[in-house]
Copies of this chain bind each other. A is one copy, B any other.
């Protein structure tokens, strides 16, 4: 390894250390920390992020990158150089002071979001959201003044992704989903689902989480489950991944599918090759691909007839009273009922993309300066009425439901819908190779994990998003695989 590359490895290991601390502080805040520690935490985040900034935006990095590139590089080394160069190209244009101040802002903003949601009061959050929008607009100007602001942030979460591509993608989805939803609502035989709303003791729900993690192969020695207002996954090391859920006493399926969703993220992070440790490549690829894994496990595995049938004896054992007189088939149909609702994370597979589209349209407007934060709740409610036909009763179940914008994550949401569509193609690929459905039905997810490790997980950020999508989606991305899947699955469930 040439000397510059060695120096780059040292620098990446240092980045690992600071990012570990920052990630743990964020995770702690969302799961354990007392609510009034925001000030001290913000100071710590500023100081730690200054170290990150110094390394990715300083003058040493471009010099080392140029030196390293002058020598022979392995494929992995070339990928490290690529990722470091990308980060340097962007963040060296942001003033140091703004970089660290943003870390504190997002932390304060998250705390304000949390309080605003609990109090159902958008006004607590609005001034922080305003600042988050301003920071992201200003930074897009630093990164690429010639480019559309929103395109810059799409690219940040998935290199190469553009509004033009998103527009085409969402149009394709809409043209299939809207008529399907209409047929379901007008011609379909709605499954019985009233038994899902009930009283589901928390200790039994916790036991169900334990069981599901065990079935997924998420050993507690490497992956722990916490609780958070908004479930998420955080990787600290390939052998140390944290997932979270949120228990609702009245609806057990909410946490069940959160655990499977976050479990999908965690499996991906656990599958990143140890050879990438302490490099910038040692994490899951772009947001779309990351969400493809969570959505694959949540829906293509977790909501499949086979897997639900597999879970059924355990569900009956844990909830004998609540599930009395219900059959496994009825439960399968109930967790797949289609019902336009208020909450994205609780949405069924048919409606889910419509929730994403609302956010996509709104964050475009915010970043383009075409919608003011004060007008956001009304705009949100209007789009929910238009896209999903529902009246939003309050902001807690409306514009305040998701954490993303509070931490400056604009351009993240499309990845959920794209990831779901990637997942459909990945499942199709797997079905050509082995009996995917039987694995689900047997609760034997090892062949699925083995396949995904081999084709996707191990690479982390070593291969580009485009390379991984091409390799895993049968050559190229085709959202129609997903919409055909929806049509087939839901025609059967709804007897269309």
- Point out residues on A near B: beta carbons under 8 Å: 13-14, 16-18, 20-21, 24-25, 28, 31-37, 39-41, 43-48, 51, 220-224, 226, 236-242, 277-278
- With contact pairs A24-B25, A28-B24 given, residues A240 and B34 touching in the complex (Cβ less than 8 Å): yes
Beta-carbon contact of B226 and A40 below 8 Å: no
Beta-carbon contact of A17 and B41 below 8 Å: no
Q: Please indicate the chain B residues that have their CB under 8 angstroms from the CB of A39 in the complex.
A: 237, 239
Beta-carbon contact of B278 and A41 below 8 Å: no
Beta-carbon contact of B25 and A222 below 8 Å: no
- With contact pairs A18-B47, A21-B25, A47-B16 given, residues A41 and B237 touching in the complex (Cβ less than 8 Å): yes
- With contact pairs A47-B18, A278-B43 given, residues A224 and B24 touching in the complex (Cβ less than 8 Å): no
Q: Please indicate the chain B residues that have their CB under 8 angstroms from the CB of A47 in the complex.
A: 13-14, 16-18
Beta-carbon contact of B236 and A36 below 8 Å: no
Q: Please indicate the chain B residues that have their CB under 8 angstroms from the CB of A40 in the complex.
A: 16, 20, 236-240, 277
Alpha-carbon gap, A278 to B237, bound state (A) = 30
Q: Is the interface of A mostly helix, strand, loop or mixed?
A: helix
The answer, among B17, B34, B222, for a CB contact under 8 Å with A221, is B34
Beta-carbon contact of A222 and B51 below 8 Å: no
Closest to A45 in B: B17
Q: Please indicate the chain B residues that have their CB under 8 angstroms from the CB of A31 in the complex.
A: 32
Interface core residue of A18, A44, A46, A241 (most chain B CB under 10 Å): A44
Beta-carbon contact of A37 and B226 below 8 Å: no
Alpha-carbon gap, A31 to B226, bound state (A) = 11
Assembly of this chain: how many copies?
Answer: 2
Closest to A223 in B: B34
- With contact pairs A41-B240, A240-B40 given, residues A221 and B35 touching in the complex (Cβ less than 8 Å): yes
Q: Please indicate the chain B residues that have their CB under 8 angstroms from the CB of A236 in the complex.
A: 37, 40-41, 44
Alpha-carbon gap, A226 to B28, bound state (A) = 12
Beta-carbon contact of B278 and A34 below 8 Å: no
Q: What's the nearest-Cβ distance from chain B to residue A285, in Å?
A: 20
The answer, among B32, B37, B226, for a CB contact under 8 Å with A237, is B37
Q: Please indicate the chain B residues that have their CB under 8 angstroms from the CB of A21 in the complex.
A: 21, 24-25, 44, 48
Give 4 nearest A-B pairs by CB, closest first: A17-B47, A40-B237, A37-B240, A21-B21
Closest to A241 in B: B34
Q: 5 A-B contacts, Cβ less than 8 Å apart?
A: A16-B40, A16-B47, A17-B48, A37-B237, A37-B240
Q: What's the nearest-Cβ distance from chain B to residue A481, in Å?
A: 36
Q: What's the nearest-Cβ distance from chain B to residue A394, in Å?
A: 24
Q: What's the nearest-Cβ distance from chain B to residue A17, in Å?
A: 3
Alpha-carbon gap, A51 to B14, bound state (A) = 10
Alpha-carbon gap, A40 to B242, bound state (A) = 14
Q: What's the nearest-Cβ distance from chain B to residue A318, in Å?
A: 18
Closest to A220 in B: B34
Closest to A25 in B: B24
- With contact pairs A40-B239, A237-B39 given, residues A224 and B33 touching in the complex (Cβ less than 8 Å): yes
Q: What's the nearest-Cβ distance from chain B to residue A351, in Å?
A: 35
Beta-carbon contact of A37 and B278 below 8 Å: no
The answer, among B28, B36, B223, for a CB contact under 8 Å with A222, is B36
Question: Contacts A20-B41, A34-B240, A40-B236 given; 8 further ones with Cβ under 8 A?
Answer: A16-B43, A16-B47, A20-B40, A24-B25, A36-B221, A36-B240, A40-B239, A40-B277
Q: Please indicate the chain B residues that have their CB under 8 angstroms from the CB of A18 in the complex.
A: 47-48
Q: Please indicate the chain B residues that have their CB under 8 angstroms from the CB of A35 in the complex.
A: 221
Q: Please indicate the chain B residues that have their CB under 8 angstroms from the CB of A226 in the complex.
A: 32
Alpha-carbon gap, A137 to B37, bound state (A) = 38
Beta-carbon contact of B239 and A36 below 8 Å: yes
Alpha-carbon gap, A17 to B14, bound state (A) = 16
Beta-carbon contact of A32 and B224 below 8 Å: yes
Q: What's the nearest-Cβ distance from chain B to residue A466, in Å?
A: 29
The answer, among B16, B28, B32, B51, for a CB contact under 8 Å with A44, is B16
Alpha-carbon gap, A34 to B28, bound state (A) = 14
Q: What's the nearest-Cβ distance from chain B to residue A272, in Å?
A: 12
Q: What's the nearest-Cβ distance from chain B to residue A493, in Å?
A: 38
Q: What's the nearest-Cβ distance from chain B to residue A437, in Å?
A: 32
